[in-house]
Structure 1
Amino acid sequence: MTSRPVRIAVQIQPQHASYDQIRDAVRRAEDLGVDVAFNWDHFYPLTGDPEGKHFECWTMLAAWAEQTSRIQLGALVTCNSYRNPDLLADMARTVDHISGGRLILGMGSGWFEKDYDSYGFDFGTAGGRLDDLAASLPRIESRLAALNPQPTGPLPMLIGGGGEKKTLRLVAQHANIWHSFADPDVLAHKLEVLRGHCEAIGRPFEEIEISVGVGGRGRDGIAPTVAEEAGRPLYDLGARMFTVPVGGPDYDFGVLQDWLVWRDRVNG
């Protein structure tokens, strides 16, 4: 069992809110003591009014990097399809320096068809998008190594998704953090698959931090009274980062605060 401490992240969904409200939410999250603040990489809202207010991911991360001083930052997750991988590496390196080394580079293969259609990207197939991600990750790593200056230190990479043949193999090959929305039964199975991929390439499974979303896309999140009930089974399986999604425009942190209390109790 991993000895990593529990970390609590918040996904501040950049939809249905003014930027002033988003900026205030990030400030409040850091003041509350969260470990990581994520946004997401989309061009339109995922819930509510499909044409509602929305802001772009990486421009926002640069602003968050200047605004904050302690928390880690990242996209949950960057869509590989939307940017040239060498350019993305340079963007990530730049935000890493702006933040003083607090960036997590979250990566995924993409899934939201409206983004693709509206902005002129080829949607293709799920398998094809995963193949594109597999081709992009070595390019990102190579470009990060070639940039001057390089990142401030080893740039942690998060990969999201649960596909057993392709995604989890990419996690074993490239990621420091694996993120999913798995429940305990599914997580137990996926972890065994990931362990197998790690063994196949000779990588210690324990190097990978296990992250789970506690709420899920389009739901209201987990009620504050059940943080222990929801978190403990995932913790016992090895999950150590728990991400609470919070939507705009009000960004109510009541659920998040309960998870922070649970983190402090578990970590002692």
Structure 2
Amino acid sequence: MTRPLRAAAHIWPGGTPDYATWRAAVLHAEELGADVVFGYDHFHAPAVHRTAAGVELAPEQPDLNHFEGWTALASWAEITTRVEIGLLVTGVAYRNPDLLADMARTVDHISGGRLILGVGAGWYRKDYDSYGYPFGPLRERMDLFADGVRRIEDRLDRLVPPPLRPVPLLVGGQGERRTLPLAARYADIWHCGLEPAVRRRKDDLLREYADEAGRDEALIERAANWTGPAQADELRADGATLFVTELKPSPAGYDFTGLRDLLAWRDTAR
């Protein structure tokens, strides 16, 4: 299956001066030519730095200006006209999965069929503790994730009216025993932010799990983080077609340099 290269802007709200600034960044990303605009599903802004192995939390996790993702998505569905929208990714434990499916269906209708439903197990403990959700061991959170994905899929099939299109399910994560098998069985998009060599091994496992589930692995779009043209060329050769760049606010607003670079690469590489 041949897929077009796509560029996504992952626009963080944490630290933005106000909602209007975040909203304007979404609109500007669409104006620049992004194919997808993502928010995230946190209640606080994680202070992190990225390594080859993934994400590491900073010692201090300050409270910053912040806004909730799903209510924002309903607004984005109204104010945008072309881009697909979603959260990278929704913590399944934060909402009843059947309700989450109904929320997704509703936003899909508001947007005219442009929602991507990103889901994950949740990992940022401050979200759980500050909002009163139990932060169980990873095994329990993965059990909730697996059950939640099944319930979401079932509810989406039974809603009246149904979504305007089969809502693409994006599964984010890299866990080899639980996340990858779920992605292989259910995901329309798999997002993994690892370096190419490590990611390649995860992708091989995804293919194996899809085969075991009786599913064509080519049905799963591969999404990766944008870190520059050289790595993107390598990831593209491995099959990635959706590239995501993060936009974080500063006192001066959002810097769109990374998105512009990604869009220029996308347009040249197509």
1:259 is the counterpart of 2:262: yes
Q: 2:229, 2:265 within 8 Å by CA — same for their partners in 1?
A: yes
1:4 is the counterpart of 2:21: no
Which whole-Å deviations, capped at 9, do the CAs of 1:30-80 have from their partners, x for residues lacking one? 000000000000001112862110100100000000010000000000001
2:159 counterpart residue number: 147
Q: 2:189, 2:220 within 8 Å by CA — same for their partners in 1?
A: yes
Deviates more, 1:130-139 or 1:58-67: 130-139
Give the SS at the match of 2:122. coil
Gaps of 5+ in 1: 215-221
Q: RMSD across aligned C-alpha pairs, in angstroms?
A: 1.1
Give the SS at the match of 1:240. strand
1:241 counterpart residue number: 242
Give, as a single letter, the amino acid of the residue that structure 2 aligns with 1:31: E
1:97 is the counterpart of 2:109: yes
Deviation at 1:126, TM superposition (A): 1.3
2:133 counterpart residue number: 121
CA distance in 2, matches of 1:240, 1:128: 32
Deviation at 1:141, TM superposition (A): 1.3
Q: TM-score, normalised on structure 1?
A: 0.93
CA distance in 2, matches of 1:66, 1:41: 19
Deviating 4+ runs (over 2 angstroms): none
CA distance in 2, matches of 1:50, 1:83: 25
Give, as a single letter, the amino acid of the residue that structure 1 aligns with 2:123: W
Deviation at 1:20, TM superposition (A): 0.6
Deviation at 1:119, TM superposition (A): 0.5
Gaps of 5+ in 2: 48-59
Q: How many aligned positions are there? A: 255
1:22 is the counterpart of 2:22: yes
Which whole-Å deviations, capped at 9, do the CAs of 1:133-186 have from their partners, x for residues lacking one? 111111111111111111001110000000011100000111000001111101
CA distance in 1, matches of 2:229, 2:221: 20
Give, as a single letter, the amino acid of the residue that structure 1 aligns with 2:42: H
Identity of aligned residues (%): 48
Give, as a single letter, the amino acid of the residue that structure 2 aligns with 1:175: A
1:219 counterpart residue number: none
Give the SS at the match of 1:256. helix
CA distance in 1, matches of 2:37, 2:71: 15
